[in-house]
Amino acid sequence: MSEPRWLTPREAEIWATYRKLGRELQRVQDQQLQRDSSISAADYALLAPLSETPDGVLRARELGAEVGWERSRLSHQISRMEKRGLVVREACEDDARGSMVRLTEQGRRTIEAAAPGHVEIVRQMFFDPLDADEMETLGEFLTRIVAAVEGRA
């Protein structure tokens, strides 16, 4: 076995800052969604991709892949949202084992009401601190890092 490539002090500092950023952004988003829209970040995570499809419906496995969730977590969250009238499950016509998740009218109204506040908090916390050149550079960095992570999967 080769020796571990330990992080330098600066790398460790940057990594810790990145982890803190993820936690704090999630916390702020969660608070904003709960306060302004009475929905959770998990609700929003599923409502957003459903609302972006022409007919408001996605295969459950596609929705899970979109948000990066395992089947069990997705199923439990969909059940909670069904009870509140935000989504419904439907049979999948071409696969008896699969299911479709459809956004209800109430779900559409909910995401449409929540989106402006959510977008504003994302803008304030993530984009406003950067100038245009920094935003482009960050976008390039994030694209390269995502490619490296996806290449390991």
Using CA of residue 97, residue 103, residue 107, residue 111, what is the dihedral sign?
positive
The pTM for the full model equals 0.86
What is the architecture, at CATH level 2, of domain 15-114?
Answer: Orthogonal Bundle (1.10)
pLDDT in tens, the chain (153 residues): 889 999 999 999 999 999 999 999 999 999 999 999 999 999 999 999 999 999 999 999 999 999 999 999 999 999 999 999 999 999 888 776 779 999 999 999 999 999 999 999 999 999 999 999 999 999 999 999 999 999 886
The per-residue pLDDT for 92 is 81
Please calculate the CA angle 59-102-113 and round it to the nearest 5 degrees: 125
Partners of 100 in the β-ladder = 59, 90
